Amino acid sequence: MKLKSTRIHFVALFCLCLNLTAFAQPKMTRLEDLGNQIFNDRALSEPRGTSCADCHVAKLGFAGNNGSTIGVAKGSKPTSLGGRNAMSNAYTDFIPSFHFRVEGEDVDAVGGFFWDGRSDTAQQQALGPFLNPLEMNNKDGAAVLQKIATSPYAKQFKDEFGPKIFSNPTLAFQKVGEAIAAFEKTPDLQAFSSKYDQFIQGRAKLAPPELNGMKIFMDANKGNCASCHTMNPNSANPKDSLFSDFAFYATGIPRNKAIPRNANPSFFDLGLCGPDRTRPALSSNVPASVSIEDFCGRFRMVSLRNSAEKNAFMHNGVFSNLRDVVSFYATRNSNPKRWYGPQGIPNDLPLAYQRNIVNDRVPFNRPASSGPALSEREIDDVVAFLKTLSDAPQGQPPRPNPMPGVLNNPFGPK
């Protein structure tokens, strides 16, 4: 008896060590480490005090709005409130550059960084926040470089980019973008260490509500979430389950009245049609019957990885908890007054663009008389499933601890 239990302990300890070593993070390269330091440096705002990491907090799903509670980000000046909810900066290596995708009758805008796809690369994106008056508020790239030149990592910057790099601020600013982009590609930000990832690899079991939530998420007649938030539990490769194909949709999200620019009733954030970007030109593969007006009010879909950790959802941050998001999908059509007020019509797009709101696919194609697309219990289960998409806290082994031999993935490797 004694002997047997020692053996079990030994085996358990052995497995634990194996896990810890297998998932220890590889050391960063000098370039990645520079990006990490710049990303976390609170001296790089005007006034000082706000770093990229203040709006992209690992524990808040790599988002968070720098302490603002109204769903949109607060900048380095406490009175500066932006117009949009911070996005996650994790898993951004998988965002394709902006393009129009034509498949039969379907023409979709896809890709690009930001809710409106206005930036094509992580390098280019990373330079925006430094100069945005509502975010880090620097006057120009040279002002940022001056601060980096006196930072604790100034020498490392010169070692990486050459001893004269600070005498060419334009080039040096580009290098800042490259360093941040390299950091964003490291496993720290793309860990694939969620319970779902363990599950598709046959190393963890989902609890019954989580499994039921996943079925509803995938069921074309129920949630139909996976028709947009793409996934493939048949593949053990987590990259086949990014939970977004980065296409743009208008889903009829309610107006967030707390956003300062929304105080003007005739102001509308039209996503692809501005005002935070110029309208993109249609590419030559787009049929002549389609116009850019068909895309006004559309925003880029995000990955749902780590979204359960966030405290604000959607481009305008109008929802502050995940259950409300799923309830919105379930009851937008059956109970529009709950979301839009007494008139019951979408209130964050001008009438002319309401035709762009998705109404031709589940769960958005049901008449009000059919009732909610999901029951309260089903909503809870979808929320439970979404929580399985959160990565393990940084530096820790994947969650949950792998349970070899326990398999209940009906879609997974047989």
Using CB under 6 A, list all residues that contact ligand HEC.
39, 50, 52, 54-56, 66, 73, 75, 82, 84, 86-87, 89, 92, 95, 113-116, 122, 125-126, 129-130, 135-136, 180, 223-225, 227-229, 249, 251, 253, 276, 299, 301-302, 304, 307, 310, 313-315, 322, 325-326, 329, 358, 363, 382
Tokens 């109970």 sit on residue? 335
Q: How many whole angstroms separate alpha carbon 143 and alpha carbon 45?
A: 10
Q: How far is the CB of 85 from ligand HEC (least distance, A)?
A: 6
Position 165, amino acid: I
Q: How many whole angstroms separate alpha carbon 47 and alpha carbon 42?
A: 10
Closer to ligand HEC by CB, 109 or 402: give it. 109
Q: What value does the CA radius of gyration of the chain take, rounded to a whole number of Å?
A: 23
Q: How many whole angstroms separate alpha carbon 343 and alpha carbon 338?
A: 10
Q: Which of 185, 75, 66 is nearest to 122 (CA)?
A: 185
Q: How many whole angstroms separate alpha carbon 221 and alpha carbon 244?
A: 19
Contact 409, 211 (CB under 8 A): no
Closer to ligand HEC by CB, 156 or 359: give it. 359
Token output for 133? 């008056």
Core vs surface per residue 274-295: b (16+ CB within 10 A) or e = eeebeebebeeebeeeeeeebb
CA 68 to chain centre: 18
Q: How far is the CB of 113 from ligand HEC (least distance, A)?
A: 4
Contact 92, 120 (CB under 8 A): no
Closer to ligand HEC by CB, 58 or 253: give it. 253
For the chain, the distance separating the N- and C-terminal CA atoms, rounded to the nearest angstrom, is 36
Closer to ligand HEC by CB, 158 or 323: give it. 323
Closer to ligand HEC by CB, 206 or 314: give it. 314
Q: How far is the CB of 268 from ligand HEC (least distance, A)?
A: 13
Q: How many whole angstroms separate alpha carbon 403 and alpha carbon 253?
A: 40
Q: How far is the CB of 27 from ligand HEC (least distance, A)?
A: 21
Closer to ligand HEC by CB, 203 or 387: give it. 387
Closer to ligand HEC by CB, 34 or 73: give it. 73
Contact 359, 188 (CB under 8 A): no
Q: How far is the CB of 4 from ligand HEC (least distance, A)?
A: 46
Contact 222, 213 (CB under 8 A): no
Token output for 44? 């790089």
Closer to ligand HEC by CB, 298 or 399: give it. 298
